[in-house]
Every structure is written in C-alpha cells, then in structure tokens.
C-alpha cells in the first residue's frame, strides 16, 4: 500500500522520518542532477475527466503509426500482421488478469498455455528445453551470459560487435559488479572473423555469442563459430531472428548450447518497444541452470492429464548471488500471444513468412543498389534486413521520406558502429513490392 500525504506538513514529517529536510535531497544521491534539476514539467492546470481525455487524444494524434505510413524500420522490432484471433483470445479476462500460477490445481489453463508455448519454442529452436519466457531478447541474452558463467565456472564472455548494440549494453549492465570480463569480437565487413575468435578464446571463456542473422541482417558462419566455442570448452549462445527459423538452420542444427530470441514478431505489436517477449531454449544438460519458469506435463492421482511448475521453485530465484537467476516471473501474456500466433501460422506458414521476407528484401536490395545516391553497404548474404549507405545524411533521408509517408529505416548513426552514413532497412510480409517501389521512388527524389 502507498500512503499519499494530505498536506505539506505531513510530507515534511515523512521526509524527516527518513532523514531528509528537503524533497529534492531525497533524490540527489541516487539520481544524477542533470536528469531532474531545472526541469520544467509544463503540466496544465487541474482538468476534469473529459478534458483529460481530449488532451490525451490530442497528444496521441501527433504521433504517426505504421497504419499512417509505410515502415521499413526493424533492428529487432518488426511490423508484422497480427491475426484478429490473437487479440480476441489474449484479451479474455482469464488470461490478461491472471497472475503467476503458484497453485497448480487452480491454474491448469495458464499452465497448459505456457507448456504449449515451451513446446513450440523448443521445436522451432531445435533445442530440447525451453523456459516460460523472459522479458525481451536483450534480457534473454543477459540471462544466457549468467547461465554460461554459472555452468562453466569461467569468467569471460565474448560478444561480437555485429551483435545488437542494445543487447550488448544489457548484458554489460547485468554483469556489472561481477568478476566477469566482456571482450568484444572484432568484425570485418560486417561479419565475425572466425580467426579472431580463435585468438580470443581461452580456458577462462564461458561463452561465445553469435547473432544469426546479425544486427545488420548479415549471415554469420555460425557452424564454424559454434565449433570454435566447443573446441575451447565454452558454451555457444545463438541469438536468432525467430522469423528466420522457417528458412535457415535452427540453433540446435548448428549444435548451439543456448538459443535466445526476441519473440515480438510472433503476434506482438511494436508498441514503442514493449512489452515484448524474451525466448530461451537450451539442451537438456543445462535444464537445471535455465532461468525462469518451467512447466511440466504429468497426470493427477486419477490418471488425468495435469500441468505443474517443475524442477525449480520460485523461491530459489531470490537467493541473491546463490540463485540461478534473480528473475522470478515471465511474460505470460506475450508468450500466449506468440503461442496463438504460431498455432495459426503452423510450420509451413513460418517457412512462407521467412521466404516472403527474403524475397522482398532482395527485391529492395537490387532496386536501391541501382540508385545514384544509395548503395548496399555490405555484399555478404543477408536475411530480410540490410544496411544502405547514403551520400545524404540518414537523418535528412528519414525526414524527407517521412513527409512522403515512408519511414525508410533506422539511422545507424545512433549506434557506435562506424556506420554514421547508413540506414538499416527491414522487410516483412507488410512491405510488398509495390510499397518497396514507393520507397525507391521517395529515395530517388532526394
């Protein structure tokens, strides 16, 4: 329960009780001053409910969504069609109001949906065990790093510079304060050089991360990289685009030890970057080390099918440094959305989804490469996403194209990758050839 003081005197009394005489000093030690000092909130005067409603609708109307323009933005979050059945089911009150399934006897529906999710993710990843989901792809990477350190008792993680920069930052944050060294694997022409991994791997290396396709959409030599990790006694962690699994090898087929992914493409809206879904799967040897929840299928005393949380309890996650992980929840509603989406799609549908993305992206690659002021930055094989080098500043390209109803991609100058003159463009089933032609037309007019 939160107590809200009714007057300034009550507030001051509460401040004195915790050792402060000024409200601002309460935050000064923990929050950097530049984040809150001299900030003008510019809030309106008190409003009634109808006035608040009008104000918020006015603010929302200033935003432009994917329904207002053609979007080629990706970089981990993609614009896919979400079948109507997904929202029709997840918005049922028994799903969107459900909390964690402590009592199996009254949570059979929730447990079964999680079990079905785990089964599907294990199958598409080509792995033996999947957990009941994590917060997002970035936190799944961080949990994979912690798992590798815990399992191998080694203290070095190799992260390639071709990995999503946001994922790498989250891994660094999770490992901050622990005696773990993070070493960046150099890239050449957008790809990991296996020889560089051979130089860096040693007896203290816990894991080698491989993103396939990588942040720039390029396809790594994953088979060779997994073998290098294995020969060095390290675990191999594959970070994948789940849509690619319909057309590319699965992490299990490469021999990876851990597979993680961002599950947002599976029936979850972009929603300004969240809430989304972290997928994780492992081989059976790591089942006792995998973080989060595991749901098992069994029978009750009468021989009826039943589901329950298994192998670990929630309480083990709050044992601080002795815990496998400190995560003790999961994105169950988002995982349910992915489960429904995959049920509707089926294996052939997933393959078709990947084939269409590959076809459209290669069509765009050829069209854009023929333009005078634009060219493909890399020549390596790619899947559904590629970097475009521009003689015009990417921010200017985006500004001009947006005015024509086209969002051409992500400005890569946002990231410290040495690609300040490049855009990252992504393609899905919602960017067919006629929309790509509009993108090309907008670019050609710059």
pLDDT in tens, 208-256: 999 999 999 999 999 999 999 999 999 999 999 999 999 999 999 999 9
CA 188 to chain centre: 25
CB 358 within 8 A of CB 247: yes
In this structure, the number of other CB atoms found within 10 A of the CB of residue 69 comes to 15
pLDDT of residue 15: 86
Query: pTM of the entire structure?
Result: 0.88
Tell me how far CA of residue 265 lies from CA of 108, 326, 431, in angstroms. Answer: 27, 26, 14
Rounded (10°) CA dihedral 126, 129, 132, 133: -50
What's residue 95's pLDDT? 87
In this prediction, residue 316 carries a pLDDT of: 59
In the chain the domains, ranked by start, together with CATH numbers, are: 70-82+346-444 (3.90.1150.10), 84-340 (3.40.640.10)
Q: Which residues of the chain fall below pLDDT 50?
A: 1
Structure tokens at 88: 């029709």
CB 378 within 8 A of CB 387: yes
Give the H or E element holding residue 342: helix 332-369
Q: pLDDT tens, 267-299? A: 999 988 889 999 999 999 999 889 888 899 999
Start-to-end Cα distance in the chain: 57
pLDDT in tens, 64-108: 888 889 999 999 999 999 999 999 999 998 888 877 777 777 788
Task: Determine the pLDDT at residue 120.
Answer: 97
């Amino acid at each position: 329960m939160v107590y809200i003081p009714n007057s300034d005197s009550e507030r001051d009394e509460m401040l004195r009780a915790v050792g402060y005489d000024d409200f601002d000093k309460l935050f000064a030690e923990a929050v950097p001053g530049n984040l809150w000092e001299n900030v003008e909130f510019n809030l309106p005067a008190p409003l009634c409910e109808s006035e608040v409603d009008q104000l918020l609708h006015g603010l929302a109307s200033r935003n432009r969504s994917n329904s207002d323009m053609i979007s080629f933005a990706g970089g981990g979050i993609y614009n896919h069609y979400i079948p109507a059945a997904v929202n029709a089911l997840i918005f049922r009150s028994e799903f969107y109001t459900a909390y964690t399934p402590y009592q199996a006897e009254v949570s059979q529906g929730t447990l079964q949906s999680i079990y079905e999710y785990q089964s599907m993710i294990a199958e598409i990843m080509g792995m033996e065990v999947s957990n009941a989901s994590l917060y997002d792809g970035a936190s799944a990477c961080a949990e994979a790093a912690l798992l590798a350190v815990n399992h191998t008792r080694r203290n070095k993680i190799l992260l390639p510079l071709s990995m999503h920069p946001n994922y790498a930052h989250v891994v660094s944050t999770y490992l901050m304060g622990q005696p773990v060294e993070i070493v960046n694997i150099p890239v050449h022409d957008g790809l990991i050089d296996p020889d560089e991994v051979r130089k860096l791997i040693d007896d203290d290396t816990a894991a080698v991360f491989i993103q396939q396709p990588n942040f720039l959409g390029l396809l790594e030599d994953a088979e060779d990289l997994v073998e290098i990790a294995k020969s060095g006694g390290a675990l191999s962690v594959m970070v994948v685009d789940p849509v690619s699994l319909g057309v590319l090898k699965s992490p299990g087929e490469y021999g990876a030890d851990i597979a993680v992914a961002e599950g947002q493409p599976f029936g979850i809206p972009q929603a300004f970057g969240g809430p989304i879904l972290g997928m994780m799967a492992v081989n059976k040897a790591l089942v006792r080390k995998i973080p989060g929840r595991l749901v098992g299928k069994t029978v009750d005393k009468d021989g009826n099918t039943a589901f329950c949380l298994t192998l670990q309890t929630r309480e083990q996650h709050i044992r601080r440094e002795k815990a496998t992980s400190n995560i003790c929840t999961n994105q169950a509603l988002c995982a349910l959305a992915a489960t429904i989406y995959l049920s509707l799609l089926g294996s052939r549908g997933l393959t078709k989804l990947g084939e269409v993305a590959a076809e459209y992206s290669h069509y765009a690659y050829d069209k854009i490469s023929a333009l005078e002021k634009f060219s493909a930055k890399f020549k390596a094989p790619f899947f559904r996403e590629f970097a475009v080098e521009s003689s015009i500043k990417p921010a200017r390209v985006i500004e001009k194209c947006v005015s024509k109803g086209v969002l051409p991609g992500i400005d890569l100058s946002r990231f410290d990758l040495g690609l300040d003159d490049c855009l990252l463009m992504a393609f899905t089933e919602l960017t067919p050839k006629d929309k790509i032609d509009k993108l090309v037309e907008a670019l050609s007019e710059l």
